[in-house]
């Protein structure tokens, strides 16, 4: 049975959902740490260049593809050339794989919302508490199950009734709570010292190629551009919609959030430095980015806040609610494109697809719960390397196998910001060249790819081949 096509209720809902996909764990625990390591304020230069040269153009391209072809990347690429369908499946299945471990981390975050209520790290210490959590599958299962249950219900309820509602609620709450944390962060004694470490420009760092690779890699990851969520989100806008400016808004809201949240993180780090008389953040001997920042450093810091245990509970809870909401709206955008692709190809219903995706993700996620050490090698391939070559192919498909001019002419009559030939130039030349450089750089700088990464890559390609080779059930309407 084919259901009639779904739509967003409002353009605002579409943009908030896209922002929700983009803003995730990476904005909170990765951006400010990258800035700190890579030249402070000077890092904003490569970051902005990456945003303008590849980030925004790719975001616009994904919105145009999804809306013009009224489908996921599977449908879009197939309509461009039959043989290209497999690239769409690779993208979609890659998104699925990201979801299997992203949800495990979100499960930890959910557990930490509970821990925060009682400041569970006050006696054992934050490092030991985190260690005991990831050594205990049963504890992880609690947050993991709740996270999947909420995500399942949300996507099950559909585009406007589920995803749009969730995003319209979650994104404003995320900003408000973050503003409270930022205000607390920057008003702590010593905050200025921390923020200075975050943003003090060290221009000499820009001579290091790694800084630029980090900036471009972060832009790809943070915007969720990978022929997945954003293509599908644009599918649910009616034809004749404004698209380019929506992409600009999404990009700036996302990157603005990262920048903004850095003040909370580094205000608190500065405060810890002043308490311990540390001269550099490294002297604190605590993780300044990644899971370590979220699950060890921040909890430790909340216990040091003036005001005692209740204050630690409140700010701890607030931090993990922010982190969970950020990740939840991203996880929604992982499930939705997989559903869309299955629905387009096999005609299976939303309820069936979403339930199937949830069950499969849950089962695969269990593997990570029992073997937390598998997350890194899988993320290396699915959450990092694959993004680069998939996006490279996406740009080549749109730029050489199809006509960017056609897409521009389609979008421009309704566009608040018109697309000119600069758009074609960026997609056809700049994106492929930069992706090529990142790939080559990655190949020469990683010693060896772990067998796990290689295995995941092979399975991904096999599964995509099978899916691309199977029969379309729905009657094609063009």
For residue 20, give Cα distances in angstroms to 99, 171, 339.
Answer: 15, 6, 18
Choose among 33, 21, 57, 18: nearest CA to 427. 57
CA separation (Å) from 15 to 41, 182, 236, 260, 331? 28, 24, 11, 19, 16
Q: State in angstroms the smallest separation of the CB of 264 from ligand TRP.
A: 17
347: left (phi over 0), alpha (psi -120 to 50) or beta: left
Residue span 187-226 as binding mask against ligand TRP, x where in contact by CB under 6 A, dash where not:
----------------------------------xx-x-x
- Within 61-126, strands assigned E span none
Residue 29: CB minimum distance to ligand TRP, A: 9
Taking the complex as a whole, the smallest distance from the CB of residue 82 to ligand TRP amounts, in Å, to 26
Residue 432 makes contact with ligand TRP by CB under 6 A: no
Among 330, 358, 361, 385, binds ligand TRP (CB under 6 A): 330
Nearer to ligand TRP, 27 or 116 (CB): 27
Return the range that interacts with ligand TRP (CB under 6 A); candidates 78-86, 178-186, 294-302, 327-335: 327-335
Q: Is 98 in the site for ligand TRP (CB under 6 A)?
A: yes
* Residue among 76, 49, 60 at smallest CA distance from 18: 60
Q: What are phi and psi of 349, to 5 degrees?
A: -75, 160
Q: What residue number has its CB nearest to ligand TRP? A: 24
- Answer yes or no whether residue 21 interacts with ligand TRP by CB under 6 A: yes
27 binds ligand TRP (CB under 6 A): yes
Q: Kindly state whether residue 228 participates in binding ligand TRP, applying the rule CB under 6 A.
A: yes
Size of the residue set binding ligand TRP (CB under 6 A): 17
Mark out the alpha helices in 157-187 (DSSP H runs). 165-186
Q: Whole-number minimum distance, CB 113 to ligand TRP, in Å?
A: 18
Tokens of 249: 């808004």
| Residue 90 near residue 460, CB atoms below 8 Å | yes
Among the listed residues 75, 24, 53, the one whose alpha carbon sits nearest the alpha carbon of residue 468: 75
Select 25 or 407, whichever has its Cβ closest to ligand TRP. 25
Q: Which is nearer to ligand TRP, 18 or 193 (CB)?
A: 18
The answer to the question of residue 24 lying near ligand TRP (CB under 6 A) is yes
Cβ closer to ligand TRP: 284 or 291?
291
Sole residue written with tokens 């550099």: 280
Instruction: Write b or e for each residue in 210-234: b if 16 or more Cβ atoms lie within 10 A of its Cβ, otherwise e.
Output: ebbbbbbbbbbbbbbbbbbbbbbbb
| Residues within the interface to ligand TRP (CB under 6 A) | 21-22, 24-27, 95, 98, 221-222, 224, 226, 228-229, 330, 333-334
């Amino acid at each position: 049975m084919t259901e009639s096509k779904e739509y967003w209720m409002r353009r605002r809902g579409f943009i908030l959902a896209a922002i929700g996909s983009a803003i995730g764990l990476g904005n909170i625990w990765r951006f400010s740490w990258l800035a700190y390591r890579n030249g402070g304020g000077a890092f904003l230069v490569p970051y902005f260049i990456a945003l303008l040269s590849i980030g925004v153009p790719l975001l616009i391209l994904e919105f145009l593809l999804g809306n013009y072809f009224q489908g996921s990347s599977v449908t879009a690429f197939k309509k461009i050339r039959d043989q290209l369908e497999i690239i769409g499946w690779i993208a979609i299945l890659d998104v699925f794989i990201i979801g299997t471990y992203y949800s495990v981390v979100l499960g930890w975050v959910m557990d930490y919302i509970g821990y925060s209520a009682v400041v569970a790290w006050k006696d054992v210490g934050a490092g030991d508490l985190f260690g005991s959590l990831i050594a205990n599958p049963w504890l992880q299962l609690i947050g993991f199950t709740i996270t999947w249950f909420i995500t399942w219900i949300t996507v099950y309820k559909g585009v406007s009734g589920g995803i749009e509602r969730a995003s319209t609620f979650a994104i404003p709450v995320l900003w408000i709570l973050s503003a409270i944390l930022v205000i607390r962060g920057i008003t702590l004694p010593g905050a200025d010292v921390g923020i200075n470490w975050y943003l003090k420009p060290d221009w000499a760092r820009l001579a290091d190629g790694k800084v630029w690779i980090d900036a471009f890699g972060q832009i790809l990851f943070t915007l969720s551009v990978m022929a997945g969520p954003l293509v599908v989100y644009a599918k649910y806008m009616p034809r004749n919609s404004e698209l380019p400016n929506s992409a600009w808004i999404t990009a700036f809201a996302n990157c603005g959030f990262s920048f903004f949240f850095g003040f909370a993180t580094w205000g608190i780090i500065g405060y810890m430095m002043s308490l311990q008389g540390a001269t550099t953040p490294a002297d604190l001997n605590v993780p300044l980015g990644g899971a370590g920042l979220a699950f060890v450093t921040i909890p430790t810091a909340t216990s040091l806040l003036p005001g005692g245990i209740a204050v630690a509970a409140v700010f701890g809870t607030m931090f993990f609610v922010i982190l969970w909401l950020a990740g939840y709206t991203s996880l929604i955008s992982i499930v939705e494109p997989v559903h869309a692709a299955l629905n387009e190809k096999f005609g299976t219903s939303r309820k069936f697809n979403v339930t199937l995706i949830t069950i499969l993700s849950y089962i695969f996620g269990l593997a990570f719960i029992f073997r937390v050490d598998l997350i890194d090698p899988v993320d290396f391939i699915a959450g990092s390397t694959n993004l680069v070559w998939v996006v490279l192919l996406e740009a080549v498909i749109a730029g050489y196998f199809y006509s960017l001019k056609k897409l521009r002419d389609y979008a421009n009559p309704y566009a608040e910001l018109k697309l000119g030939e600069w758009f074609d130039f960026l997609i056809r030349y700049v994106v492929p060249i930069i992706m090529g450089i990142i790939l080559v750089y990655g190949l020469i700088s990683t010693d060896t790819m772990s067998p796990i990464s290689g295995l995941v890559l092979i399975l991904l390609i096999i599964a995509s081949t099978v899916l691309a080779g199977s029969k379309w059930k729905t009657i094609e309407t063009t």
